[in-house]
Amino acid sequence: MANAVAQQVQDTKETTKGVLAEVKQYTRKAWLAGLGAYAKAGQEGYDYFKELVKTGETVEKDGKKLVNKKIDAVNERVDDLKSDAVQAVEGRLEQIENAFDQRVARALNRLGMPSRHDLDALSVRLEQLSALVEHAVKQKN
């Protein structure tokens, strides 16, 4: 029986050595697979990274074009609005100026001051009268 127990112990040791050898082999393969995955992921990751950078540059360029296009459109709209506002202000200032001129003319008229129109009419009549006087002087001589 001692022989049988010794044989069982020996068989168990050999079985254990075989299992340990298999475990070591699988562990090494798992380690090598991990290293291979890391190396492959590193290379593919770098290639993927380069591709992402290239795509990002394209998107950035297209985005800048779009932003510049929008900025140009806004600037044109601002220029149009500015032009419209300037015209509106100029028109309003002209209205105010005309109203002021009319009020000043009425005030001067109430004070007995002749208007620009009155002075122009008087100038025309004075020229006509001067022409008549000159004509009369020529006929007398």
pLDDT, position 17:
73
Cα(96)–Cα(111) distance, integer angstroms: 23
**Higher-scoring residue by pLDDT: 105, 97:** 97
- Model confidence at 13, pLDDT cuts 50, 70, 90, reads low
* pLDDT one-digit tens code per residue, 119-131: 899 999 999 999 9
Do the Cβ atoms of 109 and 115 come closer than 8 Å?
Answer: yes
Average pLDDT over residues 45-74: 90
pTM over 0.95: no
Structure tokens at 136: 């009369």
CA distances from 113 to 46, 108, 118, 136, 140 (A): 94, 5, 9, 33, 38
